[in-house]
Amino acid sequence: MDPCPIGACDGSGWILGPEDVARPCECRERLIMRARSRGVASVIPARYRSVSFDQPPVAQMDDVVVQRVRGYCDQIDRMLSEGRGLWFFGDAGTGKTSLAMLVSKRALETGHSVAIYSLPKLLARIRRTFDAEAGEQSYDQLFTRLTTVDLLHLDDLGAEHKTDWVLEQLYALVNERYESQRSVVVTTNHDEDELKLKIGERIVSRLAEMCSPQPLFGPDNRWQQGPDDPPAATSSRGSVLGALDH
């Protein structure tokens, strides 16, 4: 336990008073903010930790969509309690993942649990549970976490190879969150009709009811940068992330 920065408590953020009654130390707010920062750093990929509404690439995106996302973030507690989500779709490199990461960051900063997965990597993770040895995470344990986390962020939906097994896993996951009214944030390069061909009408129908669609079209911003510019946010993730990555 770190020492109290003002030397008033034992580092716990609480001061024990008369009759063993505890009161919060002045350092408690700092401890809470530090814990939230650690939570963001442990779940959000490094490339997206500094993403902001007021900086590129978000500041250069379609203002209508950005304001909708900002409004969602401003009401994040109510949105998650009602199981409402967002569905970003459109051309590659238009900032879908950056906006989705802003939502996930706000959820973490306000104390909610968040899991972030690219769909192909999530499916690979599910497959590994079938060969799990004693002490490793089972399928049931993984599925329970996927369906009970406050916000599930699925990146690159529709990039996976379509098989009966894939459709079965996706439907089970989406349907469980649909029935329990738990929020989902989704990014995909496909519009609704294209996505139906990729993952089936049953899944898309549930996502359409759960998530507000946010279209993003235009040139690929990754190709608009000069050689000295910092790298733009990518739309997919090469590893499984977040609290579920144990």
Strand partners, 179: none
Residue 181 φ/ψ, nearest 5 degrees: 55, 55
Classify residue 58: in a domain, yes or no: yes
Query: 123 with 86: CB under 8 angstroms?
Result: no
Could you give the number of structural domains in the chain?
A: 1
Query: Is 0.75 surpassed by the pTM of this model?
Result: no
Classify residue 143: in a domain, yes or no: yes
Classify residue 1: in a domain, yes or no: no
Classify residue 32: in a domain, yes or no: no
Classify residue 88: in a domain, yes or no: yes
pLDDT (tens digit per residue) in 5-51: 667 777 666 566 665 567 777 655 654 444 444 445 457 888 888 88
Per the listing, tokens 């235009």 go with 218
Classify residue 236: in a domain, yes or no: no
Residue 171 φ/ψ, nearest 5 degrees: -65, -45
pLDDT (tens digit per residue) in 52-96: 999 888 988 889 999 999 999 999 999 999 999 999 998 887 889
Domain encompassing residue 129: 45-224
Q: Where are the alpha helices (DSSP H) in the chain?
A: 28-43, 63-74, 76-81, 96-109, 119-129, 139-148, 164-179, 192-199, 201-210
- CATH code at 101? 3.40.50.300
**Which DSSP string corresponds to 121-145?**
HHHHHHHHHTTPPTTSPPHHHHHHH
Classify residue 95: in a domain, yes or no: yes
Average pLDDT over residues 168-185: 96
d(CA 224, CA 216): 16
d(CA 128, CA 64): 41
Classify residue 108: in a domain, yes or no: yes
